[in-house]
Amino acid sequence: MNGLVWHVKSLRWGLAAVALASWGCQAEVEPLIIESDIVVTVPEAGTEAAQERLRELLVKGTQPGTMEPFERREVEELVLGLMAPTRGSLSGHRWVVKYLDMPGVDFVSAELMRGEGTADRRVWMQLLPMKGKPLSGFEAGDLEPVAGYQARGMLDHHLFVRVGDFDLRIVADKPETRDDVYLRQILLGCRLDEIAAL
C-alpha cells in the first residue's frame, strides 16, 4: 500500500466530501470547506514518510493559526495509524480522532468507541506536546513504566505516559474499563516508539 490519497473537489458552496481509508481502524470525518481542488496523499502508517510528515505538521501546529483544515485531517489520519489496531480484543471498536486547536496548545484527541454512534466511549486519549515540561498525572503518583516509558496516574483510572516529547494520556470512561491491565494493553498496542521519535 502506498498510503492514503484524498481527492477533494470543491463544490458550488465550497462544501467538499473527503474519501478516507484507514489501517484496520475507522475515523469519523467532517466535510471540509475549501476553495479549490486539493489532492492530499497521506503516507502509510509505520513508514519513515509518515513519521516525517507528522513531525512536520505537529511542529507547524505549535504556531497558532497556521494549520489548514486539510492539514488537520492529515494529522488525524496519521495519528490514527499510531493507535492500537481495532482487532482481537478491540474488535468491534473504532477510533474517533480529532485535531484540537486550543488556546495555548494544540493537541490530538482519540476516543475509543464500541459499536456505531458515540454513546459507548470506552476510553479517551490525548497526545500533547510537552517538551521541557514535567510529567503530570492529576497530581497522582508514579506507576510502573509502560514499555520503559515513565508513567504517572491513578491505578485503574488513568495513565499519563511520557513518550519522547509528548504525553500520551489514557483515561477510562466506563466502570468496566477502569482496569490497569486493560489500559496498559491499549497503550502497548500503540506505536510508542514511533511517537517517541517524533
Q: Which of 119, 112, 115 is nearest to 182 (CA)?
A: 112
Question: CA of 70: how far to CAs of 5, 29, 62, 90, in Å?
Answer: 12, 11, 17, 29
Q: Return the residue matching grid coordinates 497503550.
A: 187
pLDDT for the residue numbered 138: 55
Domain count of the chain? 1
Residue 44: per-residue pLDDT: 83
Residue 7: pLDDT over 50: no
Q: Mean pLDDT for the chain? A: 80
Q: How confident is the model at residue 139 (pLDDT cuts 50, 70, 90)?
A: low
For residue range 101-137, what is the model confidence (pLDDT) as tens digits?
A: 877 778 999 999 998 766 799 999 999 988 888 777 6
pLDDT digits (tens, 9 = 90+) for 25-64: 444 444 443 444 566 677 787 888 899 999 999 888 887 6
The dihedrals phi and psi of 80, each to the nearest 5 degrees, come to -55, -40
Can you give the residue range of the structural domain that contains 130? 4-196
Q: How far apart are CA 28 and CA 165, in angstroms?
A: 27
* Separation of alpha carbons 153 and 70, rounded Å: 34
Beta bridge partners of 190: none
With a threshold of 0.95, does the pTM exceed it? no
Confidence of residue 142 (pLDDT cuts 50, 70, 90): confident
166 touches 187 (CB < 8 A) = no
